[in-house]
Chains A and B, each alone.
Chain A
């Protein structure tokens, strides 16, 4: 055992694990993966892939990239078993941190209070008719009108289109 360890310590500085070829290979893989996640930005992707799917895809790509960096650039692939001593507790604790946040996501994502929704509603609904008149009136939940003004949500209007309709006079 101790023999093996001294050997390893010895080898650390002499044996080159990677070599230029491997590093360039990893580099190219990272570039390709970055390009893949950048593809999600373009219209053809956005029009054909649901945003949830492309988000999951991006995270998968990021995790793959992270593993490539950790394994090859940080040399963890070639390290002895001590690597688990340091990484396993961190993985557990980071996972706990993330899990501790899950209730926040779960509770806040779907059920924003009415007050928050009213605060977030940035402008009242305007019907097509009102547009044409140049004089705005209250668009009382015209179902065909939702798509035109859900811009408060950024890219995805899927979560709270319906609730954000309340119209309050600003004064």
Chain B
């Protein structure tokens, strides 16, 4: 006891009272980990609410209903994993003071990150081109085949018809467009409207609206169901509405695998139509999908900016700390995608 006291008083540099930083790491790394801590909570909340909304929803579209291709999600996972490896190797090279090699790995990381964003843009475009938007001014998604949906289709057809008819010098193409508009109204919309008006108590009108919705925007999940079950009904539906084109002239409902079923509706055949579409649960799906992937994409963009800034520096041992911190951030972006991929594409 007295020995110890003597030691403490005697040596100003006693190990017990030596100054120590709070954490034995650099300020930058401490900050990065604190930041990542908040990020973990941010994405935990986003993913948690996505799960609640997805499993609390009464209706949720299947991935092919909303033109979500699993293979692109898997490709993006692979791309991000590769970029995680390359940035780790960049850090290794920088630690060995091999700045040329570190620069090479960093460029590769930047390219892989850009590839991820490119694939993401391609995927977003696949949704937008089919009228699947998250927001009201653009969204054409209706949740169920009711009178509101029929009304929306009627309004769109009327708008198109008025535009085309007011055009006194119509080209041949526009004449053909007018014919298509009339044909859709006659074959699909009018029967549904009549059925609803004449027999409001019967579901016949809703059935016809459902069929119309299916002609405008055929959903993969509907046609998967028809494969084994009611083949006759599918063939019947196909023969009834000659407007609908199928790829390779193949009758719908015949393709056995869901991923090979490439359905073409009126909106695909005539892109100028832009008719409202019916996807049960589609609006909630679009909101959550674009929110979660959008926030992730923002993080990817920030990462790419960080890579560009790093490339202006000499990537030697002196700057290894910065590379490490950017690397930590990038691995986190990879981590989030590792969870998003199965949740969004495979669940």
Say if the beta carbon of B176 comes within 8 Å of chain A: no
Q: A86-B37, A108-B56, A116-B58 are in contact. Are A151 and B222 (CB under 8 A)?
A: yes
Set of chain A residues within 8 Å of B317, measured between Cβ atoms? 13
Say if the beta carbon of B173 comes within 8 Å of chain A: no
Q: A13-B95, A148-B225, A154-B61 are in contact. Are A121 and B144 (CB under 8 A)?
A: yes
Closest Cβ of chain B: how far from A145's Cβ, in Å?
9
**Chain B binding surface, main DSSP class:** helix
Closest Cβ of chain B: how far from A18's Cβ, in Å?
7
Set of chain B residues within 8 Å of A135, measured between Cβ atoms? 204
Say if the beta carbon of B147 comes within 8 Å of chain A: yes
Q: A40-B346, A169-B203, A169-B206 are in contact. Are A98 and B48 (CB under 8 A)?
A: yes
B225 and A104 within 8 A (CB)? no
Give the nearest-CB partner of A81 in chain B. B24
Set of chain B residues within 8 Å of A73, measured between Cβ atoms? 84-85, 88, 327, 331, 334
Closest Cβ of chain B: how far from A8's Cβ, in Å?
6
Say if the beta carbon of A105 comes within 8 Å of chain B: yes
**Pick the contact of A55 from B147, B258, B332, B347 — CB < 8 Å?**
B347
A23 and B23 within 8 A (CB)? no
What separation, in Å, do the CA atoms of A167 and B281 have in the docked complex?
19
Set of chain B residues within 8 Å of A86, measured between Cβ atoms? 23, 30, 33-34, 37
Contact with B along A45-86 (1 / 0, CB 8 A): 000000000110011011001100110011100001010011
A153 and B24 within 8 A (CB)? no
What separation, in Å, do the CA atoms of A31 and B3 have in the docked complex?
60
A: residues with CB less than 8 A from B are 1-3, 5, 8-9, 13-14, 16, 18-20, 23-24, 26-27, 30-31, 34, 37-38, 40-41, 43, 54-55, 58-59, 61-62, 65-66, 69-70, 73-75, 80, 82, 85-87, 89-90, 93-94, 97-98, 101, 104-105, 108-109, 112, 116-117, 119-124, 126, 128, 131-132, 134-138, 147-155, 160, 164, 167-171
**Given A37-B346, A136-B207, 13 additional A-B pairs, CB 8 A:** A2-B15, A19-B92, A23-B92, A31-B78, A69-B335, A70-B331, A85-B23, A108-B55, A120-B143, A122-B278, A123-B210, A154-B62, A171-B200
